[in-house]
């Protein structure tokens, strides 16, 4: 692992397990197009949850969205088929609901590694609202689960979440730059414990939410049993079969 510096990981749901050769230009263009669609969908979702337009405008917007959805369904993948633009070994999961640039649900969370410390940055819009003006508590847990899992893979102990204890100290504000930090604690064989926090970027010393997660690296037989239906050559690799 890197001793210092910054490793910005855009669009990755877990740390890359291998160094890949330069991607095919056509694949790169497809990923850019997916990102553009993801940005547009996030704009749509945020507009929809904020709008106070009249009934007619709402119905017109609904019809436009249905038309767009119909065009996208013209060619769909099956449940066991991973997106053609994803790369499991490189950690690229474009539709991951937390980090995926192509996901309408993802903020998305941007992950960076500085001096071995995994950090995440994002801002949550009204689509994530729980109590008025604050994020839903489940969203905070989701963000931390993702970042802690990333920290596990970065440390060389990738695994699936087997326990996540979340402590809510103060509400997480919407429309505010957030900072998440995760550090590996104890490692016991295939089991690793990681702690993480959410703060605002402006007040990094004031913890809003804390989580302690336990992750377990799958044995080859476990990965094969869980993901043997997935049509991807790397799907049963224990180092990546956890996202």
Those residues with Cβ within 8 angstroms of residue 229's Cβ, 6 or more apart along the chain or in another chain: 80
pLDDT average, residue stretch 188-208: 97
Predicted pLDDT of residue 93 = 95
Nearest to 192 by CA among 223, 231, 164, 226: 164
Task: Give 29's strand partners.
Answer: none
Per-residue pLDDT tens for 29-75? 999 999 999 999 999 999 999 999 999 999 999 999 999 999 999 99
Length of the chain: 243
Average pLDDT over residues 127-134: 98
Residue 10, pLDDT above cutoff 90: no
Residue 227: helix, strand or coil by DSSP?
helix
CATH number of 1-243: 3.10.129.10
Please tell me the predicted confidence (pLDDT) of residue 32. Answer: 95
Residue 210 CA, chain-centre distance (Å), reads 18
Quote the pLDDT of residue 19: 72
State how beta strands 117-122 and 6-9 pair. unpaired
β-strand partners of 117: 114
Could you tell me what percent of the chain has a pLDDT over 90?
A: 84
The pTM (predicted TM-score) of the whole model is 0.94
Mean pLDDT, the chain, as a whole number?
Answer: 93
Q: How confident is the model at residue 115 (pLDDT cuts 50, 70, 90)?
A: confident
pLDDT in tens, 164-195: 999 999 999 999 999 999 999 999 999 999 99
For residues 225-230, average pLDDT: 92
Q: Is the dihedral of CA 9, 207, 117, 162 positive or negative?
A: negative
CA distances from 137 to 140, 142, 208 (A): 5, 9, 11
Instruction: Using DSSP bridges, classify how beta strands 110-114 and 209-216 pair: parallel, antiparallel or unpaired.
Output: unpaired
Q: Check residue 21 and give its pLDDT.
A: 62
Instruction: Please report which confidence band the pLDDT of residue 2 belongs to, taking 50, 70 and 90 as the band edges.
Output: very low
**Residue 216, H or E segment:** strand 209-216
Closest CA to 214 of 180, 182, 186: 186
Domain limits of the chain?
Answer: 1-243
23, pLDDT greater than 90:
no
Q: What is the DSSP code (8-state) at residue 20? A: P
Taking only the tens place, the pLDDT of each residue in 79-105 is 999 999 999 999 999 999 999 999 999
The full 3-state SS of 21-68, as one line of letters, equals CCCCHHHHHHHHHHHHHHHHHHHHHHHHHHCCCCHHHHHHHHHHHHHH
Q: Which residues of 147-179 are buried (b: 16+ CB within 10 A; e: fewer)?
A: bbbbbbbbbebbbbbeebebeeeeebebeeebb
């Amino acid at each position: 692992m890197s001793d210092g510096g910054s490793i910005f990981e855009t669009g990755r749901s877990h740390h890359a397990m291998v160094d890949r050769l330069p991607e095919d230009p056509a694949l790169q263009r497809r990923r850019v197009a997916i990102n553009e669609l993801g940005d547009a969908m996030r704009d749509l979702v945020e507009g929809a949850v904020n709008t106070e337009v009249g009934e007619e405008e709402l119905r017109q917007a609904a019809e436009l969205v249905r038309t767009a959805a119909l065009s996208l369904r013209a060619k769909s993948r099956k449940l066991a088929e991973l997106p053609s633009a994803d790369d499991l070994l490189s950690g690229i999961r474009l539709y991951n609901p937390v980090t995926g640039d192509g996901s309408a649900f993802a903020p998305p969370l941007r992950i960076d590694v500085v001096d071995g410390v995994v950090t995440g940055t994002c801002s949550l819009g009204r689509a994530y609202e729980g109590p008025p003006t604050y994020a839903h508590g489940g969203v905070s847990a989701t963000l931390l689960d993702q970042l802690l899992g990333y920290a596990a893979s970065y440390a060389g102990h990738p695994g699936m979440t087997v326990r996540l204890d979340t402590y809510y100290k103060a509400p997480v504000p919407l429309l505010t730059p957030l900072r998440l930090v995760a550090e590996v604690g104890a490692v016991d064989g295939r089991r690793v414990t990681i702690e993480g926090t959410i703060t605002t970027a402006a007040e990094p010393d004031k913890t809003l939410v804390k989580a302690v997660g336990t992750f377990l690296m799958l044995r080859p037989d476990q990965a094969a049993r869980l993901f043997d239906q997935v049509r991807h050559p790397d799907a049963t690799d224990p180092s990546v079969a956890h996202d």
